[in-house]
Structure 1
Amino acid sequence: MSVELGNETDHEVDLDEIRELCGYVLQEMHVHPGADLYVRVVDEPTMAQLHEQWMDLPGPTDVMSFPMDELRPGRPGAPAQGILGDIVLCPSVAERQAAAAGHAPADELLLLTTHGILHLLGHDHAEVDEEREMFDLQRRLLLTFLAGRGRSANPPAGRS
């Protein structure tokens, strides 16, 4: 699995942990090991520009996803193949959200990364049933990843 990461900010972001999380989530979602994913960490002005350009919404947001091949989760023995796409994270927005939710900024970035991957795989939260399904899956993936690392966390059930 090719997971490329770039931090374009002054924020300290644990890119190794984000890479490991990406690998874990993609494996759990049965995405082919040859799939490509790029995670970009940007500042608020850059995120605000992307948010306005692509969503026609003002100001920065926490995470944006840009799918390439519109992959969907595979199944055991039949992994999804192709270019997954890009995720853009804004750590300063994530820090504020983490403070409001009462958990660590690093856990918020992991939550947002998981959220972004699920969007790349076609999950959405526009409808109540979709939201419940996506956020339950997001929470399960993040908590099992953290438990496997000997960490516990209390991330919110979902946002974004």
Structure 2
Amino acid sequence: MAAGVTALAVATLLAKAAIAGARYWPVLVVLAATALVVAAVCWVRRRSADRARAARGAGLPLSLSGIDALDDQGFEFALRDLPVRDGWTARHVGRQGDQAADVTGRHPALGRIVLQAKHTTVGARISSPVMYQVKGAAGTVQVPTSPSW
């Protein structure tokens, strides 16, 4: 019984919309055309962004063995290039006394990121004190108190 009442209500609403649509068909045509234009613009922008992302990714042709072959500074620069590929602004800041930051980056929507690189031999582990240093420095030293970069 409830389904029949619901179907009758929906049919009534559709009939009223059809009658109103017949009266205001020019407005409906303009709205439909606007919706199509907006959809086309969104599709073109998305395709353009996908192509730009693919082009940035093509600039980083390093394989895992290529990454393993990098020296410490080369690895830091490769680490800098990864956020740039993904739309971030990033810069290499790694040097002696860098307060546990090798790369800093900024994204307009996602905020700020601080990266610390550790280059080890295969199978080696990073010690706990180093991890505590990175965590402590990232929270207290690297988070800016002013919006300047």
TM-based fold match above 0.5: no
| TM-score interval for Structure 1 and Structure 2 normalised by the shorter chain | under 0.3
Could you say which structure has the larger radius of gyration? 2
Answer 1 or 2: which has greater helix percent: 2
Query: Structure 1 length normalisation: TM-score?
Result: 0.24
Answer 1 or 2: which has greater strand percent: 1
Structure possessing the higher relative contact order (Cα contacts under 8 Å, 6 or more residues apart):
1
Query: Structure 2 length normalisation: TM-score?
Result: 0.26
